[in-house]
């Protein structure tokens, strides 16, 4: 195994382990208690409406919206960049060439975080909560798609879509449940790599992801729907985006390095 690949793989595995073993501090526990208190006061119809908005948003975007999302970035340029730095990395296996791939992925995410903050802020001022959910999901998927491309993975494959849904769940689930869901993510990646079937029910995967994400954002969406305090709630959009893409970056980088390790 090349020393650069070995060192980078060890580094990302260490980062992943630290991410999964992170402790829920006192501040987090207090915040969670407040959110649960607010959520208990939310009418069941409102909860169902938010979950339904996430479910429909995911279904439409994953089944019909990929081409629309792709219009918001230069897919061919990203593929070209990946191939260019991939070839240079293949030739000499220098850390500098690998870092170019990582840098491009991180740059895309920084831009998208800024977009989510602006999008959330504007909609928060207007007092809009539910209507912006499909737009927010599109930005999340855009970030994941760009990350996948930067590391050479095709997100159009149905198995990769299931992988993406599981990535989102693993990123947003409570810390104590992350290890178990991370194992599912790893198993999914292994099936894709070995080109074997990934057991799944597409609508059930979308439903589970929608339930988890809508639950995580319920308090923020309720705050964002009130014009007076909308801006404060809107900042959570960027937090959620960062949370999801942080985990996605770890997993796609790890998959890329594992692939290089086998070559």
pLDDT at 232: 42
Domain count within the chain: 1
58 within a domain of the structure (yes/no) = yes
Q: 38-47, 82-91, 223-232, 242-251: lowest mean pLDDT where? A: 223-232
Does 126 have pLDDT greater than 80? no
* DSSP annotation of 241: H
pLDDT at 230: 43
Rounded Cα distance between 60 and 133, Å, is: 12
26-60 per-residue burial string, b: 16 or more CB within 10 A, e: under 16: eeeeeeeeeeeeeeeeeeeeebeebbebbbebbbe
50 within a domain of the structure (yes/no) = yes
Query: If you search the block for the tokens 């178990």, which residue do you land on?
Result: 180
Q: Return the CA Rg of the chain.
A: 19
Rounded Cα distance between 174 and 58, Å, is: 21
244 within a domain of the structure (yes/no) = yes
pLDDT at 189: 96
26 within a domain of the structure (yes/no) = yes
263 within a domain of the structure (yes/no) = no
Confidence of residue 182 (pLDDT cuts 50, 70, 90): very high
Rounded Cα distance between 135 and 131, Å, is: 8
215: left (phi over 0), alpha (psi -120 to 50) or beta: alpha
Contact indicator for 221, 50 with CB cutoff of 8 Å: yes
In terms of Cβ atoms closer than 10 Å to its own Cβ (0-12, 13-18, 19+), residue 208 is middle
* DSSP annotation of 173: S
Chain segment 3-19, per-residue pLDDT in tens: 888 888 999 999 999 99
Query: If you search the block for the tokens 């810390």, which residue do you land on?
Result: 175
Does 28 have pLDDT greater than 60? no
pLDDT at 180: 95
Rounded Cα distance between 2 and 261, Å, is: 8
pLDDT at 206: 97
pLDDT at 125: 40
Query: If you search the block for the tokens 């630290």, which residue do you land on?
Result: 18
What average pLDDT does range 122-133 have in this prediction?
A: 52
> What is the domain range of residue 11?
3-258
- State the alpha helices, DSSP H only, in 71-157: 75-92, 95-126, 133-150
């Amino acid at each position: 195994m090349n020393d650069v690949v070995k060192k980078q793989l060890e580094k990302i595995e260490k980062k992943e382990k630290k991410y999964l073993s992170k402790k829920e501090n006192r501040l987090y526990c207090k915040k969670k208690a407040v959110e649960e208190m607010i959520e208990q006061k939310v009418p069941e119809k409102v909860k169902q409406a938010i979950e339904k908005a996430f479910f429909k948003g995911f279904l439409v975007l994953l089944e019909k919206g990929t081409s629309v999302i792709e219009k918001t970035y230069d897919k061919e340029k990203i593929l070209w960049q990946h191939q260019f730095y991939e070839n240079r990395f293949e030739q000499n296996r220098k850390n500098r060439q690998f870092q170019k791939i990582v840098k491009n992925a991180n740059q895309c995410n920084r831009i998208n975080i800024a977009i989510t903050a602006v999008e959330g802020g504007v909609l928060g001022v207007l007092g809009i909560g539910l209507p912006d959910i499909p737009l927010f999901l599109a930005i999340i998927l855009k970030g994941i798609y760009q990350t996948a491309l930067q590391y050479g993975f095709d997100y159009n494959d149905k198995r990769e879509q299931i992988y993406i849904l599981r990535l989102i769940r693993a990123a947003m689930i409570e810390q104590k449940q992350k290890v178990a869901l991370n194992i599912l993510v790893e198993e999914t990646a292994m099936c894709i790599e070995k080109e074997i079937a990934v057991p799944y029910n597409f609508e059930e995967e979308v439903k589970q992801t929608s339930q988890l994400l809508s639950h995580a954002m319920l308090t923020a969406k309720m705050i964002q729907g009130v014009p007076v305090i909308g801006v404060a709630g809107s900042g959570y959009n960027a937090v959620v985006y960062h949370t999801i893409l942080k985990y996605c970056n770890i997993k796609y980088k790890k998959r890329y390095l594992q692939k290089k390790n086998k070559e």
